[in-house]
Amino acid sequence: MKITIARLRTGYNYKEPLHQIMDSFYYLFKKYMERNPQHTYGVCNFGWNAANRKKLDDIVDADVILIPSENEFFQHIKGYVDPRHKERSDQFINEIGKHLANKHMAIIRSDRADTEELYRTRTFNSHTIGKFSTFDETDIPGGINGMKYHFIQTLKNPLADMIDTGKKIDWAYWGRMKHGNDREKTIRKIYRSDLTNVMIGGFPSGVKRKSAWIKDWKELYPLLEPARSTLCFNWIDPYATTSRYPEALSVGMIPFVWRDYDILGKYNIDEWQRVQEFEDLYEKIIELRDETVFTNKLEEYRNNYKKVLLSEDEYYKQFTERMNHGLIHAHR
């Protein structure tokens, strides 16, 4: 069986973790390829420590096509992306679409808005897709991006626990905003309050950010490390989890969660972390200015999370089972 990984909108050259949102998947898939030589593997608009290979030959003879899906739905919101970039990527997608009728296409997604319906009716609306599967980041217990907890730990200064670097910022947020919902309203309130903050990524007008989005965690980490807390939101449904939670704990900050975030308890979240309104969040962030309170809470919540955090070997085992049974077996 031939499995081809294909990126649609932008090419990517994977070298090591913590450079791109899908790196947990790439890391595990690379290990899967090394340990499963019974399959053959291809790339399209992607490289393994090599230049992005944008040829279609590995699409033409593939049995399974894996498409990393990060916010594909944004491409279909009028005026949201550069129309010139979209036109170029749409032309490339059209060429791929000509070969999908007898293929098994699987999206590996990091956003619940990227659905089979979106790909069939919008992305590849002019083409027929054969079998379709979805490999969601939450299909692995605790979420595949729990791997980032392990990855980020490698960035820490070995002397960090011996040196008091000081937590001087109340709150941090990194990522892209989604407009017109509780997330935007709450972040605006935090920004307008007397809480100190660092914001990195895409934000609405009127919100001053520390930096545009930084993909490389080696650059992102030192900007976030001085912060005591962040806030995790879900979008679309309360059953999913987000990578921000393990990322925050690994960096060394308290991840608060908004209302019904992770209502199934996958992350073993303490009730004190759950906030219903900005005022509730504000009071708890102020409490964290007490160094003893902050230190005790961080240790408690890290220990809570480690009860559900898998080891790297366990993540690979779960990933392999999902690949073999959810995708490979389903293709036959």
Each residue's pLDDT tens digit, 214-233: 989 999 999 999 999 999 99
Q: Are 103 and 16 found together in one domain?
A: yes
At 223, which CATH number?
3.40.50.2000
Q: Are 104 and 219 found together in one domain?
A: no
Q: Are 56 and 122 found together in one domain?
A: yes
b (16+ CB within 10 A) / e for 262-287: beeebbebeeebbbeebeebbebbee
Q: Are 136 and 154 found together in one domain?
A: no
* pTM confidence score: 0.91
- Structurally, the chain folds into a number of domains equal to 2
Q: Is the pLDDT of residue 119 over 90?
A: yes
At 65, which CATH number?
3.40.50.360
Each residue's pLDDT tens digit, 195-213: 999 999 887 777 888 888 8
Q: Are 136 and 227 found together in one domain?
A: no
As a whole number, mean pLDDT of residues 154-177 equals: 75
Q: Are 299 and 151 found together in one domain?
A: yes
Q: Are 268 and 170 found together in one domain?
A: yes
Q: Are 209 and 315 found together in one domain?
A: no
Q: Are 180 and 102 found together in one domain?
A: no
* Cβ-based neighbour number of residue 117 at 10 Å: 9
Q: Are 317 and 284 found together in one domain?
A: no
Distance from chain centroid for Cα 195: 27
Structural domain for 60, as ranges: 2-141+311-331
Q: Are 16 and 95 found together in one domain?
A: yes
Tokens 């730990």 belong to residue: 153
